[in-house]
Amino acid sequence: MDKCKYSTAVILGISIILSAGREILAQPMQEMTPMVGAEIFIEPGQTAEEIDTWYRLMKENGMTICRIRMFETYMHKPDGTWDYSLFDLAYQAAGKYGIKVWGNLFPATDFRDVGGFKFPRSKEHLESIAEYIKNLVNHFKQFKSCYGWVLINEPGSGTLPDEVFTMEMFRDWKNKQLSLPFNNQGYNIFSFDEERFLVEYNTWFLNWLRNEVYKYDPGSHLHVNNHAIFQNVAEYNFPAWRQVLTSLGGSAHASWHFGYFSRNRYTVAMSANCEIIRSGAGELPWLMTEIQGGNNTYSGFHAMCPTRAEISQWLWTVIASGGKGGIFWTLNPRASGFEAGEWAMINFQDEPSDRLIAAGKVAGVLKDNAGLFAAARPVESGINVLYIRESLWVEKKLQTGGEPYEGRDIGGVMKSALAYFEALGEMGLQCNLKEIGEFDFSKPDYAGITIILAHQVALPSRYWKGLENFVKSGGKLIVDGLTAYYDENAHCILKTGFPLEELFGGNVREFKLTGNIFNINLDNPKLALPGHCWQGTLITTTAMPIGYSNQEIIASRNTFGKGEVIWIPALSGLAGRIQGYSPLVALLENELRPDLTLVPFRFRERQEGMLLKTLKSDESYVTLVVNKSGVARSIALINNTKMKPLILFADKGGTVTGNDVITISSEETIVLLWK
């Protein structure tokens, strides 16, 4: 293998012909009714009767898609021959019951390996993967049930693997980079070469796998499911992935992936996970490739078994976020290895659990309203909570241990963004949750659009002009915490000529560690807002002070062109996450009020523990409401449409009075059609 051909240009290189083929495939999926499905786990010892039973159960419960791990170790024999017969049974049964199959590439790996390969270990390993793909794809592409291929199970390694192939690729990549130990002012800077390379390396490997599959099944549907999104997202370059894939997906296992949330917030976690994937997918269709379907015994970080109510909540949240479906992990329990007997939606007697029945009821509503949901797309509020890849890198790089504060520890950056996402959710507002590179800064007019940068400690220089254009062209920018403390190299730009001084209307005098929770008293609006960890004080130039403490400025508002910047240099979002969002919601209500008349539905008042999401389908709307408050509630909506509601789904008998009052039980999910 000629490693020289894997330059940065090739890593990110795209085939125009293959890109056109993906668009042809992606468009029909975008126009499809969302699909409900499950993983069928195939392993030696299973019988044809068992496999047939599982697909029959899928059919009987409205499931139309499945994913299968295509274990090389169960096909490729020690003598070099291939025996596909076990997996043939699965593809044949799927065809019999009208189930689409995504074959998940799973080259030979250790029996104890739960997640599978992420990168090649050596040149020989890469060649063996290519040989596996050749045999696998050529054989299974013939089945009418073959829907396409999942290129990797859960890409994302967290750190750069210390393996021969990776290290050689890294050295080649690094030799081509212009890496300097100083910035253009002469200051020493940190190296983030490993982190930058890992982003490109993930994209290169997906592209390599795509090319190998397309040698034998050109133009087929290609998919991938990222995982642990709140921790791993900094290594995913979704805009580049769009050029490789036909659809984007993700794994959203509460037990593995929702550690930043308590269980009563898992539905909000699912919503946030969905919005990150939706943003990453861009114009591609997306769906949640893995959703926890059953009990986890020894695996997972948090032991639990989803309730049937949670299954409904999670699946409807995916659909209401614009997903084209959800696949549960798993339908049947595996019998051996790690996770044996876990995660399944059927019991050990091959009978449907209450969870499978719940998923089937959702599938039934989708089928009965196929055209409505096929055309449904999320309603945009104009609010964008942005996270920054380099902020996650810097936060991790600078950890030294010591006294824990949520804002100071790993996770503070993402939790701060999530805090505003959650607070807006309690207002009944769905917002975008995007990496800053996924936001379009090229538009001429941003009137009615808001960006929130919550404790995004590193603000790369390539976005400074874009933010200036955004505000100058009518956008509103809300900034909290230590946002823009560093640039992309962890250089403190507050010290060496703050490049955003004109935009923000001032500079920071200093930050002081103040405490876990303290008050920020604002004058306009009149509000006592909580802060966490650090209190920043400001020196204003053009900005108007809107808060003081001991005669020092602690918050400001700056008019810049047609827009404005609200700057609160304390972790107000994270403080709200710690003690409650009521003051933060009051601030957001004040700042967003002029633009909220364009939102078709929202809560009349803040609703703690509630979730609302809205889709538009032609001239109708579909609204999801989930009650995680722990008690039955009567919720009044602001209805800006004058439309009347019809209940499509209510798993505990919820009702609607008039055109704006919903009565909903604890843990209930209600789906409304507005016409």
> Which whole number is the average pLDDT over 600-620?
97
Q: In this structure, are 364 and 503 located in the same domain? A: no
Q: Residue 428: which domain range?
A: 383-598
Per-residue pLDDT at 180: 64
**pLDDT-derived band of residue 183, with 50, 70 and 90 as boundaries?**
low
Mean pLDDT lowest among 17-31, 241-255, 371-385, 503-517: 17-31
Tens of pLDDT, residue by residue over 381-400, are 999 999 999 999 999 999 99
Q: In this structure, are 31 and 172 located in the same domain? A: yes
**Is the pLDDT assigned to residue 426 strictly greater than 60?**
yes
**Is the pLDDT assigned to residue 402 strictly greater than 90?**
no
Whole-model pTM: value is 0.95
Per-residue pLDDT at 4: 36
Choosing from 598, 623, 658, the residue where a domain stops is 598
Q: Which residues pair with 623 in a beta bridge?
A: 614, 672
Q: In this structure, are 566 and 625 located in the same domain? A: no
**pLDDT-derived band of residue 16, with 50, 70 and 90 as boundaries?**
very low
Mean pLDDT computed over every residue of the chain: 94
Concatenated DSSP letters for 71-84? EGGGTB-TTS-B--
Give CA–CA dist 641/244, Å, rounded.
Answer: 40
DSSP reduced 3-state for 43:
coil
Half-sphere exposure (Cβ direction) of 403: Cα atoms closer than 13 Å = 4
Q: In this structure, are 434 and 570 located in the same domain? A: yes
Q: In this structure, are 369 and 387 located in the same domain? A: no
CB atoms within 10 A of CB 549: 17
Choosing from 334, 361, 378, the residue where a domain stops is 378
* C-beta separation of 66 from 38 below 8 A: yes
Per-residue pLDDT at 469: 98
Per-residue pLDDT at 187: 78
What's the burial of 600, exposed, middle or buried (CB within 10 Å: 0-12/13-18/19+)?
middle
Q: Is residue 592 part of a domain?
A: yes
* CA distances (Å), origin 193, targets 159, 179, 392, 486: 12, 8, 14, 17
Mean pLDDT lowest among 6-10, 441-445, 581-585, 591-595: 6-10
Tens of pLDDT, residue by residue over 33-70, are 999 999 999 999 999 999 999 999 999 999 999 999 99
Count of domains forming the chain:
3
> Which whole number is the average pLDDT over 303-311?
98
Whole-number percent of the chain with pLDDT over 90: 89
Q: Is residue 32 part of a domain?
A: yes
Q: In this structure, are 569 and 669 located in the same domain? A: no
Q: In this structure, are 615 and 575 located in the same domain? A: no
**pLDDT-derived band of residue 404, with 50, 70 and 90 as boundaries?**
confident
Q: Is residue 603 part of a domain?
A: no
Residue 294 per-residue DSSP state: S
Per-residue pLDDT at 2: 39
Q: In this structure, are 505 and 575 located in the same domain? A: yes
Q: In this structure, are 410 and 366 located in the same domain? A: no
Tell me the CATH number at 612.
2.60.40.1180
**pLDDT-derived band of residue 186, with 50, 70 and 90 as boundaries?**
low
* CA distances (Å), origin 334, targets 290, 300, 337, 464, 553: 16, 15, 8, 51, 60
Whole-number percent of the chain with pLDDT over 70: 95
CB atoms within 10 A of CB 14: 12
Q: Is residue 367 part of a domain?
A: yes
Q: In this structure, are 627 and 591 located in the same domain? A: no
- Tokens at 620, concatenated: 């109708």
Tell me the CATH number at 589.
3.40.50.880
Tell me the CATH number at 276.
3.20.20.80
Per-residue pLDDT at 179: 65
Q: In this structure, are 512 and 575 located in the same domain? A: yes
Tens of pLDDT, residue by residue over 74-130, are 999 999 999 999 999 999 999 999 999 999 999 999 877 888 889 999 999 999 999
**Is the pLDDT assigned to residue 182 strictly greater than 90?**
no
Choosing from 564, 598, 632, the residue where a domain stops is 598
| Full 3-state SS string of 300-351 | CCCCCCCCHHHHHHHHHHHHHCCCCEEEEECCCCCCCCCCCCCCCCECCCCC
**Is the pLDDT assigned to residue 325 strictly greater than 80?**
yes
**Is the pLDDT assigned to residue 218 strictly greater than 50?**
yes
Q: In this structure, are 95 and 160 located in the same domain? A: yes
